[in-house]
Amino acid sequence: MKKGAVIDSLEITGISSEGKGVGRVNGQVVFVKETVPGDVVKAKVVGKKKKFLEAYAEELVEQSSERVEPFCEHFGLCGGCKWQHMTYDAQLKYKQGHVEENLRKLSGLELPEIMPILGSKETSFYRNKLEFTFSDFRWLTKEEIESGEEQVRTGLGFHIPKQFNKIVDINKCHLQPGPSNEIRLKVKAFADRHSVPFYNVKKQEGFLRNLVIRTASTGETMVILQVHYRDEELIQLMMDFIKNEFPQIASLMYVVNEKGNDSYSDLEVELFSGKDHILEQMGDLKFKIGPKSFYQTNSAQAHELYKIAADFADLKGDELVYDLYTGTGTIANFVARSAKKVVGIEYVEEAIEDAKINSEINGITNTDFYAGDMKDLLSNEFINTHGKPDVIITDPPRAGMHPRVTQLLADLKADRIVYVSCNPATQARDLEILGQSYNVVKIQPVDMFPQTAHVENVVLLKLKK
């Protein structure tokens, strides 16, 4: 079947881990975005690969019982909430299925029954951090183009998926609670009124680049304005406006970024007013969140995730715990009061400094934190110095653990490993290696990101006797 071909009646029978509907025609797999299992669509082929076709739905012939009307006006453009057209119960069902499929097919291990996925109480306005991009040449919708009217081309919003220079101007985002939407809209309107230049990523010119908004369960808000070059007059203009318009902002900062990309982890973030951090609360613990700090973006569900990890760890008070990929020490500090000692390892030095501060502000004295590349720092020499752990908690990035780290853990033979993952496919790969020494005894999926295909998964491994 060639590119451009039309399939008059394609039944969607499954959904991929990337969130696209899956159908079959003449035995060939067809991926169709923005469809739901149970839909029947008229589909046009837009891409042909060796093993599958890609298509989009020209017409919805028959609607699935699991389909709902998306609640966001930007659905289908910004790419942030690709499953808004699906009931939340269906989202949970398919996320559970993806965990099962990955672990059973890829790990090659004998697995226990997987526990039902833990859904999120909040399915909108649950994120604590969003990054918005300025553009002097925003994306126009089909309706705007067909209207024939002259359009304002400045935008402040999100990238269209896989298009670095295409920005959708966002009117209302349903991901982050207030005052996020109000700040973004008023900042853009003020910049437009005062003709402050918006960035053009292709030409790499313009002043306003990026707006980061962080909110916390404590009610505190942090705003970071990223600009392309140092113009003290424009910086003062923008920052004064934000400060005066939103006096509740606890931390107002800016960063001058002359690089070709928006990352500012290697740049100085300058404080304009307030504190250089905000505080997040989790149970009876407080966590310091700086402008470069990593923190789970769904605060309430992160608390549930960590409670599961602590339950799986089953600490009695006399254990030495290693917390790998500790970040700012959230899990390490969360379990520290139940352990003899916790050793946290993380490659980002700033995060380790935050982890130490988080222990300090919570009066926790039995944690040690070390910065370095995991595959180099976690060695037999390190273990001889700091002691062999009784329990290991690991929460690696999407790529999973380096093979050397995974093999070291298999050889180390701690009594228990709690593996927290945001990617069941790489988790399954790592479990295959850990299966040399461990049995998988518990599996608990957790939904951290409603309206998306992403899923977290917690696995408990116990040493084979």
Cα dihedral value 419, 422, 425, 426, nearest 10: -60
Beta strand 221-227 with 251-256 is parallel
Q: SS3 of 457, please?
A: strand
Q: SS3 of 2, please?
A: coil
Amino acid at 330: T
Amino acid at 305: L
8 A C-beta contact, residue 276 and residue 253: yes
Which residue in the block uniquely carries the two structure tokens 């084979």? 464
Cα dihedral value 446, 450, 451, 452, nearest 10: -40
Which helix (H) or strand (E) segment holds residue 332: the answer is: helix 330-336
How far CA 261 is from CA of 228, 258, 290, 333, in Å, comes to 10, 8, 21, 34
**Quick one: how many helices (H) and strands (E) in the chain?**
11, 21
Closest CA to 126 of 423, 449, 446: 449
Interatomic CA distance for residues 256 and 271, integer angstroms: 12
* The two structure tokens encoding residue 216: 């916390």
* The two structure tokens encoding residue 53: 């076709």
Contact partners, residue 101, CB within 8 Å, separation at least 6:
none
**Angle CA(420)–CA(426)–CA(430) in degrees, nearest 5?**
75
Closest CA to 331 of 351, 349, 403: 351
Burial 119-157 (b: 16+ CB within 10 A, else e): bbeebbebbbbbebbbbbbbbeeeeeeeeeeeeeebbbb
Q: SS3 of 325, please?
A: coil
Is 78 annotated in the active site? no
* The two structure tokens encoding residue 57: 């739905």
How many whole angstroms from its chain centre is CA 437? 31
8 A C-beta contact, residue 41 and residue 60: yes
8 A C-beta contact, residue 90 and residue 452: no
CB count in 10 Å sphere of residue 327: 21
Enumerate the active-site residues: 422
